[in-house]
Homo-oligomer: A and B are copies of this chain.
């Protein structure tokens, strides 16, 4: 077990802050930049030696430039246990692809976890800035600083016409992917996500689940991102996404009011049952727990609970994830053990809380 995972887990989840701008609907903002080093083959076409050389170059550049601050953690996929990989994934600090790699797939994380660098994933460099709430401008400021510092040390592959060169043409140009994670339980309850998806696609945006494709129904969390990286400046992409996000937040908020007005009993029922299952259940899957927590979070946000707050619930979403649970247990858990342990943690958390009220 790496020490830095223990250190990481001892800290609160850095991208959750119930007082952040845009909270409670906006969970977190994330920008990542794809970069490659000139004259080196893309990782997908490179052998281990070439990848190793790139990894070393980048490690040195991070050190010399101070791009990740004075203190940062470095590791590689080959050095990590399954449980640790799960934790990094659950904290959104590494991608599944990187974690499938070996010693050449390295990872550097600033102590404050806002900025991180993945090496030899699809591109030589994947820079990330991840912050709580809706903070795209600040995210961009942070990642630009990281990019500038690294660029001062590394000769990035850049074409005056095409922009930054990337392994996949979909990242060509700015190499930027801007995402905002939103909590949309009311729109989900009203079956508005599918139509929203269609509308966003027309504007060049995608909507996916918490962990990308296939995780759409996980706790009613949705990531909205730009699809195209070409033909618009970074600032334009960010401003465009910001406008879209503002609108979706407004839709979610107005749907919450509508539910309260027109489907009050259904809303109270959905929130109450979820709370009851979490408070008194003894076995619960991650998927069911996410859904139930999502509805309780909605209830908390709508002031139905006097003894629970958004921070309590936010934290649970991460701490009951499989990797975090196994790390806490100190060993890998069978499916049933995991369900029991998850339910136990949740029960403890809800022990002193009382139910929701209909005085909303």
Contact = CB atoms under 8 A, between A and B. Distances in A.
Q: Which of A275, A281, A282, A356 has its CB near the most chain B CB atoms (within 10 A)?
A: A282
B355 A265 contact: no
A86 B283 CA distance: 38
A199 to B, nearest CB: 32
Contact of A275 (B276, B278, B339, B340): B276
Q: Which of A272, A276, A277, A336 has its CB near the most chain B CB atoms (within 10 A)?
A: A276
Contact of A283 (B266, B278, B358): B266
A287 interface: no
A269 interface: yes
A64 interface: no
Task: Give the copy number.
Answer: 2
A273 B265 contact: no
Interface residues of A, number: 23
A212 to B, nearest CB: 30
B280 A356 contact: yes
B269 A273 contact: no
Contact of A269 (B265, B272, B276, B281): B281
A220 interface: no
Contacts of A284: 269
A85 interface: no
Given A276-B279, A280-B275, A269 B355 contact: no
A268 interface: yes
A284 B356 CA distance: 17
Contacts of A282: 265-266, 268-269, 272, 358
Contacts of A283: 265-266, 269
A55 interface: no
Interface in A78-129: none
Interface string A256-274: 0000000001101100110
A159 B337 CA distance: 67
A250 to B, nearest CB: 27
Interface string A12-26: 000000000000000
Contacts of A275: 276, 280
A276 B295 CA distance: 15
A342 B266 CA distance: 14
Nearest to A340: B265
A290 to B, nearest CB: 16
Interface in A335-360: 336, 339-340, 343, 355-356, 358
Contacts of A277: 273, 276-277
A55 B336 CA distance: 63
A278 B277 CA distance: 10
A280 B357 CA distance: 9
Given A265-B340, A280-B356, 11 more contacts: A265-B282, A265-B283, A266-B283, A269-B283, A272-B281, A273-B276, A276-B278, A276-B280, A277-B277, A279-B280, A282-B358
19 contacts: A265-B282, A265-B283, A265-B336, A265-B339, A269-B281, A269-B282, A269-B283, A269-B284, A269-B343, A272-B280, A273-B280, A273-B281, A275-B276, A276-B277, A276-B280, A279-B355, A280-B355, A280-B356, A282-B358
